[in-house]
Amino acid sequence: MGIGPSTKETSLHHFRDPLLEVVAEDTDLDLMGVMLVGSPDGNEDKMLVGTRAAVWAECMRADGVILSCDGWGNSHVDYTNTIEQIGIRGIPVTGITFNGTVAQFVVVNDYLDAIVDINKSESGEETDVVGENNMDRIDCLKAKALLKLKMRKKEQESR
Amino acid sequence: MADEVKDLRRLVIKAFHMNEVEWGDHNDITTDGHMTVSREMLDELVAAEEHIEKIDIQIIKPGDHDRWTNTMMDIVPISTKVLGKLGEGITHTITGVYVILTGVDVNGKQCHEFGSSEGNLKEQLYLNRAGTPGDNDYIISFDVTLAAGMGQERPGPTAAHRACDKFIQSYRDKLKKFKGEKCTERHEYHDIVRPGKKKVLIIKQVAGQGAMYDTHLFAKEPSGVEGGKSIIDMGNMPIIVSPNEYRDGIIRSMQ
């Protein structure tokens, strides 16, 4: 399993990505940049690259991370690990991915409390309809709002 | 002055809307919104790629989607750099028409990794998403037939993307010369530092497993292929791009 037609992000999607716009336009936030991490085939590599992404976030002193995932199934193995690695480092993190009914996380951990499910099909399945289960602006606003909440909570706890 | 916003760089994207797309002797576009499409390049494109057996092009009018499509490999905007490099300067892009790359092999095996979208186009394409055409957009279908089995080997889909990119380049070369003031939309984007605000990083996990599960970065042209590097070949390691680089089409999606 990997990326099905209904979730896959086309080149046009990346050109007009709602997630970037939602974060960039928010004057309460300082958008550091966009990090791209591949989803490799082997499990060992999945853990490696996701952990490197988390170390990057820590070394950049990110206050928060929104992690999106193109694909599901085995792509969620690295996805959930990356979220865990970011969470372990004390960085608030929220996510955007496809879960529906068929793509519940195959691996779970303690840091998956703020994941926005972009499923839009009635059945919650991979419908093979291009674009159907893509993230839209509302999904991105939700992930951003959740991140703001988590960052505020962390700030209050540290006082 | 700790809280002063810092403006790092500016990217201007000027859009030129196409009102009409029809067959013509050559690939051409004009600032008054007229686009012509020709099959004249196709033989040359096929000859240049050992894994490609055939290429066909269709012009699909808005709403005219009750037709067969092979699996959709990518949907690509036609954009080009006019000034500066990806992420800064000026980019011209076309609205009103998008290219859909589709692929199958000579034996009818669809070009996909996990699930495919061949079938009736009106049932297989959800319109009006960020990554899909809108109700009123034309589609140019760029349909590639690969050699047997090559839809599942990395060189196959990469060749299809490369051929499609050369086709798009014929429009980019003309789009580059458009007078900026004739644009139908103008968007200005700034990479901005907001000191004192919460620092947020967006991480996107993208495809990196193999054929039809690949992501290319850093092409010379926005959403392009030539000069791009595969994230697989870069070990799938995290790479950082600026917001403006990202929104200027630094990714070519190959899954």
Distance between CA atoms of residues A109 and B58, nearest Å: 48
- Residue A117 domain flag: yes
Average pLDDT, integer, range A15-44? 97
Distance between CA atoms of residues A143 and A139, nearest Å: 6
Average pLDDT, integer, range B228-246? 97
**Model pLDDT for residues B82-101, shown as the tens digit of each residue:** 999 999 999 999 999 999 99
C-alpha Rg value of chain B to the nearest Å:
19
- Residue A20 domain flag: yes
Full-model pTM: 0.96
Q: Which residues of A touch B215 (CB under 8 A)?
A: 36, 38
Task: Give A1's pLDDT tier (boundaries 50, 70, 90).
Answer: very low
- Residue A114 domain flag: yes
Is it the case that residue B4 has pLDDT exceeding 60? Answer: yes
Does A94 touch chain B if contact means CB atoms closer than 8 Å? no
**DSSP summary character for residue B150:** G
Q: Which residues contact B2 (CB under 8 A, 6 or more apart)?
A: B195, B196
- Residue A3 domain flag: no
pLDDT the model gives residue B46? 98
Structure tokens at B238: 């995290």
Tell me the residues of chain B between 1 and 60 that have a Cβ less than 8 Å away from chain A.
none
φ/ψ region of A71 (left if φ > 0, alpha if ψ in -120 to 50, else beta) reads left
- Residue A4 domain flag: no
CA-nearest of B61, B38, B137 to B95 is: B137
Around A66, how many Cα atoms within 13 Å sit in the side-chain half-sphere? 30
> Which CATH number characterizes residue A33's domain?
3.40.50
- Residue A94 domain flag: yes
- Residue A32 domain flag: yes
pLDDT the model gives residue B2? 56
Does B131 touch chain A if contact means CB atoms closer than 8 Å? yes
Number of domains in chain A: 1
Does B126 touch chain A if contact means CB atoms closer than 8 Å? yes
Answer yes or no: is the ipTM higher than 0.85.
yes
Residue A137 domain boundaries? 11-158
C-alpha distance from residue A124 to each of A13, B114, B118 (Å)? 21, 17, 20
pLDDT the model gives residue A3? 78
- Residue A151 domain flag: yes
**Model pLDDT for residues B159-188, shown as the tens digit of each residue:** 999 999 999 999 999 999 999 999 999 999
pLDDT the model gives residue A48? 98
